[in-house]
Amino acid sequence: MHGTEAASDWVRRWTPLIPPGSTVLDVACGAGRHLRWMRQQGHAVVGVDRNAEALAACAGLGETVCADIESGPWPFAGRTFGAVVVTHYLWRPLLAPLVQSVAPGGVLIYETFAHGHAALGRPSRPAFLLQPGELLTACAGLRIVAYEDGFLPEPARCVQRIAAVRALAGEGPPDRYPLAGPL
């Protein structure tokens, strides 16, 4: 079942950017691999997925919401989070609401398949593959701390990933963010 493997290296690397004690939203959380990781780091967690069976594996971790976020309303309208985490998921109509869900001082950590991946396997439909620079465009208004768009060998995949921070209200972003985190 999706969500039982270890937390993504990308998510683990950028977790230190999340303000201590924040609430973290994991979108398309599956069985909760990132919910578990974030709980271990001391964060409250909220997971959303359309698969009730997968969410059952998250029982006791925090708030879970069973919702089809592709055909229903965004269940977190008006809420913001210290971090929004998305891996292996893309639904373009949600890119703006996801960015808007990042609280001042919070971070968006996003990693999914990118253009070129179709030659390697699934997903292969363009609707599920980010175009070059697409995450950069979606994150306009956030401070980009890290961005990658390329090929990873193990397992073979083309990905695009970003770590981006929303400035605190009334303040500019700090000059520097730490680039090393747990791996």
For the chain, the domains span: 9-165
Give the H/E segment covering residue 147: strand 143-152
Return the pLDDT at 150.
79
Return the pLDDT at 134.
92
Distance CA 97, CA 27 (A): 12
Return the pLDDT at 119.
58
Residues of the chain with pLDDT under 70: 1-4, 115-121, 123-124, 126, 171-176, 180-183
> Could you identify the residue written with the tokens 């919070």?
106
Q: SS3 for 11?
A: helix
Superfamily of chain region 9-165: Vaccinia Virus protein VP39 (3.40.50.150)
Return the pLDDT at 116.
61
Return the pLDDT at 118.
53
Return the pLDDT at 114.
76
The terminus-to-terminus CA distance of the chain in angstroms comes to 23
Return the pLDDT at 107.
97
Q: What pTM was estimated for this model as a whole?
A: 0.90
> Could you identify the residue written with the tokens 């890290």?
146
